[in-house]
Amino acid sequence: MTARTLRRRLPSLLLLVALALSSLIRAQSPAQPTPSTASTPAESLSFEVAAIRLNKSGGGNSSSDTDNNRFTAVNVSLKSLMQYDAYGIPASRIFGGPKWLDSARFDIEAKMDDETTARLKNLDRQQRNLQTQAIFQQLLADRFQLKTHWETRELPTYALVVARNGPKLKPTADTTGNSGTSVSGNGSSVNFKTTGLTLEQFAESLTSSTSGDLGREVIDKTGIQGRYDITLNWTRDTGANASGDPAQGSGPSLFTAIQEQIGLKLESSKGPVRVLVIDHAEMPSDN
């Protein structure tokens, strides 16, 4: 090929090289999602209808119940709704709010539509719990105009550690991956059971379920791995929870039960705790 011929063909050759390089780059790059797929948010679930009325009985017990797609509550406070239904955290981790946060009581009737109920049933236990909490958070935001934010604060805690004689833990018998906690009692006696939980999850469950007994966050410091079925039985004593002294009753205190029944113990400590701060809340209108 002469120099003159090469000069005539050089632009075409350069174009072919550029096209080849462009094709090679596209082949090696990962496929990107289309804008519609990448920007479409997950659809949030909510109650189809909800009626909230101020309870004017002036006292009495509080109760709540979830039956299939219906939630009913009698004489409950906004703080208890946040604690047990919307966020799953103990009262000691909720800060701020109006003066009536724990004193004003409400009766609630709420219902999910069939599609929402079916979608919840198709989730695993953990995702179902998180999604159900999100539904209650939306309810409180809509009806109480509740606005919150999370902070981390240095607070008194209990460290869950191994007792002197070593742990007495029973590996879970459940092979399906399901897990859960149940709390029952008669008077001051408490029966606490967990299935298939790690000790980190056990500490979280203990915090949420025994806020009246402990009043602090429990943080797992055992270093023990695995999942366990745990049963604890203790007797409540309102005069002996912060110090860890044994309860003056027919059964052991929670502190004693943890040490004697599962070979662990609670030690007073201090550490960073994630807390929920209330920025704004309003009394809901009756409907």
Average pLDDT over residues 26-37: 36
Q: Provide the CA 47 distance to its chain's centre, in angstroms.
A: 19
Which of the pair, 109 or 286, is modelled with greater confidence?
A: 109
Residue 17 has pLDDT above 70, yes or no: no
pLDDT at 165: 92
Domain boundaries, the chain: 49-144, 153-274
Q: Look at 37-51, 195-209, 236-250 and tell me which has the smallest mean pLDDT.
A: 236-250
DSSP state of 83: I
pTM of the model: 0.67
Whether the CA torsion 115, 119, 121, 122 is positive or negative: it is: positive
Q: Tell me the percentage of the chain whose pLDDT exceeds 70.
A: 79
pLDDT at 225: 96
Rounded mean pLDDT of the chain?
A: 81
Segment 169-189, tens digit of pLDDT: 999 988 777 778 888 877 788
The DSSP bridge pattern shows strands 228-235 and 170-171 to be antiparallel
Q: How buried is residue 214: exposed, middle or buried, by Cβ count under 10 Å (0-12/13-18/19+)?
A: buried
Average pLDDT over residues 188-199: 91
